[in-house]
């Protein structure tokens, strides 16, 4: 599949974020000509609005990935239409992946207006760029599994279920879907631009430094020698490794480029058995991490670190859905996509990447895992 992207002009919004950095690294390794538009590395996965400080921790996957010199990168806000349009017009892309977003549920309660401006008007802005383009053939808007009205069902949501996210983040992504639907009906269908949305589950993997996410919280606890604190141990989510989601995005981008009829709305998630609780995730991480500590050599970056434990402590935070699953039959049937790494492997690869990163080999670890997954 990656051979398809060799020589293709690809535009990625949010390229300095967690998923964006992995996607950009893959595209560079595939030989694509990549144009990335995003906020400063380390900023776009935190609140970037008046009244909120930029993150003080300068760890970010984009810098770690060492792709900056291999792509055309523009640092800008997705809300700044003029700057976005100028860079987009210079890029003249064939394929567009829209990942730029304010992606944290808790931050959306702190700054709902910024969340809607970024996630809704940001989508309008990139749609306007695509609408005016004479080169784009394939456009994918990456949203979330949280776009659905969550009834706490025990079965997975399908693509034709009602869209109505509860919190400002989830609701803004529902709105982003509706914006995309409108542009398809009003403009893109007539121009034969193939457009899809991808509703992905919770992604995990090496290099996620965001706040209020279970796996980054596990990593921070492990590195600091503290216990993992779980707010909602029974919350069930369709967790998947970041390369799983990105493989689906890349497949959608390719499939609809080659066949307009493949465009549509796709759930992207793990097999049903891998929709697990936060406690399961934390336990798997702790077990993998502690095994690495037990087997580490004296000069290892892990030497001297304490075994990792788990503690449960609800902080009385804002509402978050407790139960969420996806039915991914459509993408499996229509595009022949299927997950490769189960939740055990996803956690193992996350810990593996973290250990190598602590040894100063983060970029090499990305390349190794990309080659292993797509090889």
pLDDT of residue 304: 83
How does strand 228-230 pair with strand 310-312?
A: parallel
> What is the per-residue pLDDT for 335?
98
Mean pLDDT across the chain: 93
pTM of the full structure: 0.94
Residue-level pLDDT at 313: 79
Q: Cα–Cα distance between 54 and 369 in angstroms, integer?
A: 30
Q: If we measure between CA atoms, which residue out of 105, 125, 136 comes closest to residue 260?
A: 136
pLDDT for position 173: 98
| 287 falls within a domain | no
Among 85-99, 207-221, 330-344, which stretch is predicted with the lowest mean pLDDT?
207-221
Place of tokens 């007539």: 190
Task: Show Cβ contacts of residue 158 under 8 Å, excluding neighbours closer than 6 positions.
Answer: 267, 327, 329, 330
Is 81 domain-assigned? yes
Q: Cα 220 to chain center, whole Å?
A: 19
Q: Is 148 among the domain residues?
A: yes
In a domain, 220, yes or no: no
Q: What length does the chain have?
A: 375
DSSP 154-215: SSPBPTTSPB--SSHHHHHHHHHHHHHHHHIIIIIHHHT-EEEEEEE--EE-TT---SS-HH
Q: Where are the alpha helices (DSSP H) in 259-299?
A: 278-295
pLDDT value of position 315: 62
64-103 exposure pattern, b = at least 16 Cβ within 10 A, e = fewer: bbebeebbebbebbbbebebbeebbeebebbbbbbbbbbb
Q: Is the pLDDT of residue 207 over 50?
A: yes
- Predicted local distance difference test score (pLDDT) of residue 43: 65
Q: What is the CATH number of the domain that holds 123?
A: 3.40.50.720
| pLDDT score recorded for residue 80 | 98
Range of the structural domain that residue 337 is part of:
2-210+239-276+325-343
pLDDT of 311-361, one tens digit each? Answer: 997 765 676 667 788 999 999 999 999 999 999 999 999 999 999 999 999
What mean pLDDT is predicted for residues 197-203?
94
pLDDT, one tens digit per residue, over 23-78 is 999 999 999 999 999 999 876 444 555 544 454 457 999 999 999 999 999 999 99
Q: What angle do CA 197, 201, 205 make, to 5 degrees?
A: 115
How far, in Å, CA of 78 to CA of 91, rounded?
Answer: 16
113 within some domain: yes
- C-beta separation of 72 from 91 below 8 A: yes
Q: How many domains does the chain have?
A: 1
């Amino acid at each position: 599949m990656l051979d398809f992207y060799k020589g293709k002009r690809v535009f990625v919004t949010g390229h300095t974020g967690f998923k964006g950095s992995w996607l950009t690294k893959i595209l560079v390794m595939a030989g694509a000509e990549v144009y990335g538009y995003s906020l400063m590395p380390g900023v776009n996965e935190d609140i970037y609005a008046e009244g909120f400080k930029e993150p003080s921790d300068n760890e970010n996957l984009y810098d770690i990935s060492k792709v900056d010199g291999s792509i055309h990168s523009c640092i800008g806000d997705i809300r700044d239409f003029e700057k976005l349009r100028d860079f987009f017009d210079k890029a003249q892309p064939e394929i567009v992946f829209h990942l730029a977003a304010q992606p944290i549920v808790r931050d959306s309660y702190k700054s709902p207006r910024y969340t809607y401006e970024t996630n809704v008007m940001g989508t309008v802005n990139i749609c306007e760029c695509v609408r005016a383009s004479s080169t784009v053939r394939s456009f994918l808007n990456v949203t979330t599994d949280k776009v659905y009205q969550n009834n706490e069902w025990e079965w997975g949501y399908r693509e034709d279920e009602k869209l109505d996210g509860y919190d400002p983040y989830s609701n803004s992504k529902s709105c982003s879907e509706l914006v995309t639907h409108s542009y398809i009906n009003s403009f893109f269908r007539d121009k034969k631009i193939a457009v899809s949305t991808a509703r992905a589950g919770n992604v995990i993997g090496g290099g996620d430094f965001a706040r209020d996410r279970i796996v980054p919280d596990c990593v921070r606890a492990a590195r600091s020698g503290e216990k993992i604190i779980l707010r909602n141990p029974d919350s069930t989510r369709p967790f998947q490794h970041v390369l799983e989601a990105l493989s689906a995005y890349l497949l959608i981008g390719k499939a609809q480029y080659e066949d307009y009829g493949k465009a549509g709305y796709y759930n992207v998630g793990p097999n049903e058995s891998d929709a697990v609780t936060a406690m399961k995730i934390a336990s798997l991480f702790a077990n993998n991490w502690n095994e690495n500590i037990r087997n580490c050599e004296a000069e290892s970056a892990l030497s001297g670190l304490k075994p990792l434990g788990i503690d449960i402590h609800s902080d009385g935070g804002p509402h978050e859905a407790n139960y969420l699953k996806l039915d991914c039959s459509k993408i499996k049937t229509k595009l022949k996509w299927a997950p490769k790494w189960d939740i055990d492997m996803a956690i193992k690869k996350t810990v593996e990447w973290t250990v190598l990163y602590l040894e100063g080999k983060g970029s090499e670890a990305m390349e190794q895992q990309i080659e292993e997954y797509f090889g």
